[in-house]
Structure formats: C-alpha cells, structure tokens
Amino acid sequence: EESQSFYDAVGGEETFRRLVRRFYEGVVDDPLLWPMYPAEDLAGAEDRLSLFLIQYWGGPGTYSERRGHPRLRMRHNPFVIGSAERDAWLRHMHDAVLSLELPEELEKRLWDYLVYAAHSMVNAPDA
Ligand code: HEM
C-alpha cells in the first residue's frame, strides 16, 4: 500500500530487533569498538538502538518516551569517534543489513541512511 511506512514495509519491530541483534554480535568481537560499550548492559544497549531505529522509521515512539529527544550527536560526546570507529561501526552494520535480505530498494534506503548517520556522528579528527 502506498502510505505504508518504511517501518511496516521492512517487517516492523521484528526486523529492527534482528538487525540490531546481528550488529551487536559483530561489536562484541571488535577490539576497537567493544571497549566503548557497557558490557554489563548489552541488552540495554540493544534495546536503545532498536527503539531509536523503530521510532526513526515510523514505528512506535517508545524510544523518546523512555529517553527523550534523541540528540544523538550529544549522546555520543562521551565516545571518541574517528573514521576508524565509524568504519568499524558501519562494517558490522553492513553485515547486519545484508543479513535481513530485504528487497533491494528497501535495503538501499536503510543502508544510505546508516552511512549518512554514521558520518554525522564522527566527533574526533584523524590524527
Ligand atoms: C549509543 C557508539 C553511531 C545510535 C551508543 C553507545 C556507544 C555508541 C558506545 C553507548 C551504548 C549504550 O549504552 O546505549 C557508536 C559509534 C558509532 C555510532 C562508535 C560510529 C559512528 C551511531 C549511529 C546511530 C547511533 C549512526 C544512529 C543511526 C545510537 C543510539 C544510542 C547509541 C540510539 C543510544 C542512545 C541513548 O539513548 O542513550 N553508540 N555509535 N549510533 N547509539 Fe551509537
């Protein structure tokens, strides 16, 4: 249907949960990224990223009910994100996106957004 949200088109909450689960499987094995994440609250981190993406793409607004306005660049200030961290993040996210086996057009839209968003999160210049 024409007015269907992207959220519905890709399969709703279950799809974003699968995406983020797969993404974090890569992150926990990444020596550059994993030290940045809260090892004791991996489930919480999965939940926050899933709920953000769900809200961003037109699903329920649970993320902001719990966390307020996303302000993602500000929330990433505590972490040093240079091009190496960005590229590692995108590598795991690319694996995760491909694992969904979405129709090409939906896959491209999701991936293009993630690339753009990851570039906008860089907060440290390369040495
Ligand atoms: C949180 C790293 C890019 C969305 C986090 C956390 C880390 C992190 C270490 C804390 C985990 C937690 O406790 O929730 C990075 C790195 C990135 C990156 C290294 C590389 C560019 C992105 C992008 C998005 C995003 C592109 C959105 C598309 C989020 C969200 C949270 C989060 C929604 C939870 C915010 C909150 O409510 O506290 N990120 N991130 N991140 N990240 Fe990223």
117 lines ligand 1 (CB under 6 A): yes
Cα–chain center distance at 60: 16
pLDDT tens digit sequence for 17-27: 999 999 999 99
What local confidence, expressed as pLDDT, does residue 68 receive?
98
Task: Tell me if 114 sits within 8 A of 100, measured CB to CB.
Answer: no
90 lines ligand 1 (CB under 6 A): no
In this structure, the residue with its CA closest to atom 10 of ligand 1 is 37
Q: Tokens 């996303």: give the residue.
A: 70
Structure confidence at residue 83 as a pLDDT band (50, 70, 90): very high
Atom nearest to 53 CA in ligand 1: 28
The single-letter DSSP state of residue 39 is: G
Q: With 60 as the cut, is the pLDDT of residue 2 above it? A: no
Q: How far is the CA of 49 from the centre of ligand 1 (A)?
A: 7
In this structure, the residue with its CA closest to atom 29 of ligand 1 is 49
Task: Tell me if 49 sits within 8 A of 16, measured CB to CB.
Answer: no
pTM of the model as a whole: 0.97
pLDDT tens digit sequence for 32-68: 999 999 999 999 999 999 999 999 999 999 999 999 9
Task: Tell me if 92 sits within 8 A of 49, measured CB to CB.
Answer: no
Tokens representing 107 are 């896959």
Q: At what angle do helices 104-120 and 83-100 cross, to 10 degrees?
A: 160
